[in-house]
Structure 1
Amino acid sequence: MNTQNTQTYSGFVAIVGPTNAGKSTLLNQIMGRKVSIVSHKVQTTRTNLRAVKMVGTRQLIFVDTPGVFVPKRRLDRAMVGAAMTAISDADAVLLIMDAQKGITQTIRDLVEKIHGHKNLFVALNKVDAIKKQDLLPIVAELSQMADWREIFMISALKNDGVDGMLDALAAVMPASPYMFDASDAVDVPDNLYLSELTREKIYKYIHQELPYHINVLTERVDVDADGVLDIYQKIAVQNDAHKKIVIGRGGEQLKQIGTAARHDIQDQWGVNARLHLFVRVEPDWENKAENYEDQGLEFTK
């Protein structure tokens, strides 16, 4: 029996970086579907969404961590804690940074936290937006900051340089049985994924700081005789003023959010769906453990 080609490799890759560096865009590009919220606002990735990508016979399990920032609230602390846990558990760490912004203090602080990892990579994202000669001093300084296995030049949005990066990451995955089926997939409960899609639309259409004080919970999903999904979601806000903003004049804002989310859900799953959104005032939702557990976060006092 020939066992030469039976060895399998599987491991975790933690994607880390400042808010809005392009982490979620990169993961969505790798998977060819929406995995994590893409938004112009910061702190939009709350949970450690796992995405499984096969590169030949090697399995990469991506953990998209919340953007690292200074925590101010309990939810913030849970998000940053999730990011740090993902880093310590990973077989490789991929730092994503915005080439246009260069090496900021946030990057310096983050490199200080991760520089001891044995498989450390950095991806300079959005390199298509700046001149090549402007990249040279950034690369030179990065090289002095940590023992990187490789520094990649990529455009996550345009999918430039991503395949080579995946090959390099796959090369350091440990010999291991596959931890997931040998196919590309997202390891996130469907209800949570549905909530994420709706929350993305709230970020898109509501431009105040309000979205960071909002929770979306998929309460149930029913299927009728024709195979149409009926999705019931609760949008929890902290006060009546926030409720009015989400609903909008004559309900127009909520209708816009619901229509956009429903279209995304139908496009992602190839199904027909009806989305039922209910806005409820829950002033203390950030202090309830179950709201963190629903999002895969640890509730800390």
Structure 2
Amino acid sequence: MYYKDELDRSDDWGQWDLFISAFNLSDRLSIVFDKVKAEKKCWLVFPEYNFESNELPKDGITISVAKGTEAQQLLPVIDNLSIDVYKSRRICIDATGFMRAQLLFLLAYFKKNHFNVVDVLYCEPGHYSKKENTQFSEGSFYETRQVIGYQGSNSQTQKKDLLIISCGYDSQLISNVCQQYENSVIVPLLGFPSLRADMYQESILQTIALGEPFGSADLREPIFAPASDPFETAHAISTYIRTNDCMNKYEHIYLCPLSTKPQVLGIGLVFLTEYDGQNVSVLYPFRDKYSKETSKGISKIWKYTFEF
């Protein structure tokens, strides 16, 4: 069972036992952190943001995350916070500041370790700081690989692969993945309805309208799913794969989450509930640096409840 609720900043949101947020300088993160009531509130500071000591938060528990893969980064945090103690208690994650692979790893950890219920918050921005030119990742690419916990099985056939790629603002990431999988059939997943009407237009400027990120790939008609709804995103992907007999038609299906955090959660959810252990994987292009601040203001705050 899954539930989606819009939270109002003037309402009482209740209380959690553990609340975890990934720190960056966007004010929507600090506003939510201050609003949340929890027995234990934690900031995770990821090295990819390159924070100076004077930029770090003064409130709550601050945990500096080590460099490494998403597993190497988060398993020590899980041990540090004794997260398994909270399996039957109220735990909440603010997905807003998390990098995508790390968010996916946490979702897989909760699912595979039989947590009862996990709430995930997401705070929509009022607008992105540089409109369609906003850069969420910086620095050099160092690898494109399957996210830990989302590796699929392989078979050797003469069939093509299918790449379903959720498209956001970062055309360089999209281009990087498409170049590496240029022999695949590519299906874009577009956030529509978008978080805001102008954001759909800005995203399109960076992807479909320009065409450049996809190069000469075998590009098919897009899938549409709400940018703010992980559950509808999971349903849209599942419906597309089933309706088009993709499990039999293609050698391997790659899901690549490069759009909003709710759609990232949706891609993780559909893999974990339907495709784990099959010829499906979640793929991600990793960069060594991420922007400290990408947005201004708050539009809406969502709470997604996952019952595993």
Relative contact order (C-alpha < 8 Å, sep 6+): which is higher?
2
State TM-score, norm by structure 1. 0.30
Structure having the higher helix fraction is: 1
- Of structures 1 and 2, the larger Rg is shown by 1
State TM-score, norm by structure 2. 0.29
